[in-house]
Amino acid sequence: MSVSAAPQPAATAEGARPYLEVRDLVKEFPVTKGAVMRRRIGSVHAVSGVSFSVMPGETFGLVGESGCGKTTTGRMIVALERPTSGAILIDGEDIAAMSMRRVRPRRRHMQMMFQDPYASLDPRMRVSTILREPLAIQRIGTREEQFNRVRELLNDVGLARAAMDRYPHEFSGGQRQRIGLARALALQPKLIVADEPVSALDVSIRSQILNLMNRLQEKYSLTYVIISHDLSVVKYMADRIGVMYLGKMVEIGSGEDIYRRPAHPYTHGLVGAIPIPDPDVERSKDAAAPRGEIPSAINPPSGCRFRTRCPRAQALCAEVEPPLRPFGPGHEAACHYPLRPPSEPAAA
């Protein structure tokens, strides 16, 4: 799978190039023991060889449960975390191979929107300072121009101009998330990685933020990577979805592929476990949720990492790690005993 040559961006049939391409991405965190004589006693295999690509203007969703590596993947894309190995091509340039000094000026193209609107805004800064900070760091425009940009941003996210002089605690959760979105937009990025953008919000506020994100995507041709544990949110927003489990990408496909035609038993179980606000649908469900608990990422199972909870697991699953195989156009899954037959490998 891994090629040692310098990665070249993949060209698709139409000649269009993905804006973001992630290849064989690996992140291991050291597990140490001892305060003075720190020894490395193992690693947390947070992300273990994840690949996907996102076209310009597309929304890619990453879903999975706690510890599946979705957040670490997102943080590596915006260079808040450096990968152990693998490539991250942004507009054709591999930021994983660059020094931080070279990454920094490119950061304006990829911004992050965080989950907790209470923790991600400095409580001692006025909104105008929060929104001007990225412009000041990247030395864009004069003071006057920066303030104009702040006004423009507030207008974009639907906040009154008077918000400039107020502090984060004066806003509700939904309004704070609007400020978070405005900050992510400040540098006119091409790519926004949104990590659980609405998980901390109430249902009635959630849809305001999701709809706003959709409108801004259209207005500024943004490319989104949306990370969430909530498959319903991701399916609403994303063109394509990647399902992660314990550091691995187990299935990639459209929302309908994932919901109606899952090939991987984990995807099937995950879909079945999500409560749907309709008593008839809920009570006629047959899919049983995966049994047991997610194993430790320090010592993940051999072969297929889902095998310890999988109802279809056989001897092969412990021995050989299943590769991603095609199950239809744009639909791939990594399973030895999938729920439907894989499509014939065309000219791959």
Partner 1 sequence: MDERTPAANVLEIDGLKTYIRLSRSTVRAVDGVSLHIAPGETLGLVGESGCGKTITGMSVMKLLPPGGRIVEGTIKLNGRDIVPLPDKTMREVRGNVVSVIFQDPMTSLNPTMTIGDQIGEALRIHREVGDKEARERVLDVLGLVGMPRPAERINDYPHQLSGGLRQRCVIAMALVCEPSLVIADEPTTALDVTIQSQILDLLDELRRRLRMAVLLITHDMGVIAGRADRVAVMYAGKIVEEASTRTLFKRMRHRYTEALVEAIPRLDQETSAELYSIPGLPPDLANPPEACRFAARCRFDTEICHNEYPAFSEHEPGHLYACHHPAGVDEPVEAAAQ
Coil/strand/helix, residue 291? coil
Residue number with CB closer to partner 1 (7 or 197): 197
- Give dist(CA 150, CA 88) in Å, integer: 31
Residue number with CB closer to partner 1 (211 or 302): 211
Q: Considering only the stretches 27-35, 91-99, 107-115, 278-286, report the one whose residues sit in contact with partner 1 under the rule CB under 8 A.
A: 278-286
Q: Considering only the stretches 82-90, 136-144, 197-205, 337-345, report the one whose residues sit in contact with partner 1 under the rule CB under 8 A.
A: 197-205
DSSP H/E element including 270: helix 265-273
Residue 37 makes CB contacts below 8 A (sequence gap 6+) with none
Q: Considering only the stretches 42-50, 137-145, 183-191, 281-289, report the one whose residues sit in contact with partner 1 under the rule CB under 8 A.
A: 281-289
- Give dist(CA 100, CA 254) in Å, integer: 34
When binding is defined by CB under 8 A, the residue of 202, 221, 319, 320 that contacts partner 1 is 202
Contact track, partner 1, 152-191, x by CB under 8 A: --------------------x-x-----------------
Q: Does 233 contact partner 1 by CB under 8 A?
A: yes
Q: Considering only the stretches 32-40, 113-121, 160-168, 200-208, report the one whose residues sit in contact with partner 1 under the rule CB under 8 A.
A: 200-208
DSSP H/E element including 52: strand 39-54
- Give dist(CA 268, CA 53) in Å, integer: 23
Q: Does 343 contact partner 1 by CB under 8 A?
A: no
The distance of closest approach from Cβ of residue 211 to partner 1 in the complex, given in angstroms and rounded to an integer, is: 6
Coil/strand/helix, residue 26? strand
Q: Which amino acid, residue 325?
A: R
- Give dist(CA 126, CA 164) in Å, integer: 7
Beta strand 325-328 pairing with 331-333: antiparallel
Residue number with CB closer to partner 1 (42 or 272): 272
Q: Does 299 contact partner 1 by CB under 8 A?
A: no
Q: Which amino acid, residue 316?
A: L
The contact set with partner 1 (CB under 8 A) reads: 65-66, 172, 174, 202-208, 210-211, 214, 229, 231-233, 235-236, 255, 259, 269-283, 285, 289-291, 293-294
